[in-house]
Structure 1
Amino acid sequence: MPVKIILSQALLILSLIIGVIPAGARETSVKAKQFPTGYFSQYHKIPIQEKTKVLAKIDATLKKLTQGGFGLIAKGAVIEKPDPGIMTYPQLTILDESGLVIIARRVPNLFYQYRGKAGINPNIYIIIKGARVNIPESYIRYSYVVEGEFVAYANKFVSAVLEGLERPAAPQGRQPARPAP
């Protein structure tokens, strides 16, 4: 047997024994929390002095999340129109279920180059890190604005999007056909 073959087989066996051959990546999880649905609607019509206090409380809460290694869940409707021509959005503005306006930076587009007939879902479910209050925007928009960096899409959201792309919605007034058992 040629020396090269013997040497390569010996290296293969040795790498198997010590576990040098790379294995599949493990699924990672991200710790995240969210504000309750509708929580900030109670604070929308308060005086400016009170708004300053609420913004300070939000900021303190977000700092605790960051220090604890948690991200912030942003779940709601995207304000910008979805565009399959954009690979990564520089920023997305989300009307969160809690009543916050969340600006997420560098968000990958799940619908990039999508040309199907099913409509693009304007809702989103992501996690951001380094969340902080954007005080100037909070006063300009008459809302509570938080911003941060995109970390991940929620697994359930990605699964639902992929399922929707594989099985487009039925026309108005018709129920989708169910597969035979």
Structure 2
Amino acid sequence: MIWYTALVLGVAAERLAELVVARRNTRWSLARGGTEAGSGHYPAMVVLHTALLAGCLAEVHLADRPFLPLLGWTMVATVVAAQALRWWCITALGPRWNTRVIVVPGLPLVTGGPYRWLRHPNYAAVAAEGIALPLVHGAWVTALLFTALNALLMATRVRCEDEALARLAVAEARA
């Protein structure tokens, strides 16, 4: 279980690195007239993502979940792929990537990188990680709870993001 704990802590460290990037990008966006939308659901997202990490460790240690090699190694590969996709999104969006929904006037919609194929690839990475990270070590309750709650949250988040982008497009068309 030591290596699994190290994996979860590694993902937590990666999330902290994301927050550093997001704060820098928030300053960049706001300095260019960016506006935030949907800030009301952001605290719930922070709690849910923190609970995922805590739930992974708690369930594995308290419920004595076993490591099943075929499932476990497949899920490790999925976690790595999700991290790669997330950082590809961060790279493709550059300073526009954020953990918050902030739109900056005058910037075209990003259509390169993974956005060439998916409208919201970062959310696909989050969904994959939310299933895979717990299942690396058999934490199926955490995987199910996170997936269900994340689906509800992402429905709100995607709607919020799409509406913010649509409002910006309408405002720019009128200008």
TM over 0.5: no
- Of structures 1 and 2, the one with the larger relative CO (CA 8 A, separation 6+) is 2
Instruction: Give the number of the structure whose residues are more often strand, by fraction.
Output: 1
TM-score calculated relative to the size of structure 1: 0.23
TM-score calculated relative to the size of structure 2: 0.24
Greater Cα radius of gyration, structure 1 or 2: 1
